[in-house]
Amino acid sequence: DTGVSQNPRHKITKRGQNVTFRCDPISEHNRLYWYRQTLGQGPEFLTYFQNEAQLEKSRLLSDRFSAERPKGSFSTLEIQRTEQGDSAMYLCASSTQGSRGGNTIYFGEGSWLTVV
């Protein structure tokens, strides 16, 4: 199995610009997740998909954030009108649906965003 793939790995952008991150999950994983992590903190949940359906969004996901998974395979996370507070590592993860609902969630290497 190839792991969860994210790109770009690093992005520096000016405040006010839009950025988009792409995530390719492990093949055959029907669940895909986005998390955000700032320095010194644990990851925080943003949103997750089961196939192409976005099942849950965190209150952290403001109107400037949008995530899609149009064909139930790769996903994109777009941040519009970036702010300095958006600087963080954005982690994508994937899993299958376990027999009792949950299963192991595998993370990618993350995409670092710096807003200047």
Partner 1 sequence: AQKVTQAQTEISVVEKEDVTLDCVYETRDTTYYLFWYKQPPSGELVFLIRRNSFDEQNEISGRYSWNFQKSTSSFNFTITASQVVDSAVYFCALLTTDSWGKLQFGAGTQVVVTP
**In this chain, which of 41, 59, 71, 85 binds partner 1, going by CB under 8 A?**
41
Q: Count the residues of the shown chain that bind partner 1, applying the rule CB under 8 A.
A: 29
Cα(35)–Cα(106) distance, integer angstroms? 12
106 has which bridge partners? 94
**In this chain, which of 24, 48, 88, 113 binds partner 1, going by CB under 8 A?**
48
Angle at 107 between CA 102 and CA 114, to 5 degrees: 135
Under rule CB under 8 A, residue 101 binds partner 1: yes
Least distance to partner 1 from the beta carbon of 22, Å? Answer: 17
13: its two tokens: 């952008």
Under rule CB under 8 A, residue 25 binds partner 1: no
Under rule CB under 8 A, residue 28 binds partner 1: no
**In this chain, which of 61, 77, 79, 91 binds partner 1, going by CB under 8 A?**
91
Nearer to partner 1, 15 or 44 (CB): 44
Cα(50)–Cα(52) distance, integer angstroms? 6
Q: What contacts 47, CB < 8 A, 6 or more positions away?
A: 33, 34, 54, 56, 57, 58, 61, 67
Q: Residues interacting with partner 1, by CB under 8 A? A: 31, 33, 35, 41-45, 47-48, 55-56, 58, 89, 91, 93, 97, 100-110, 112
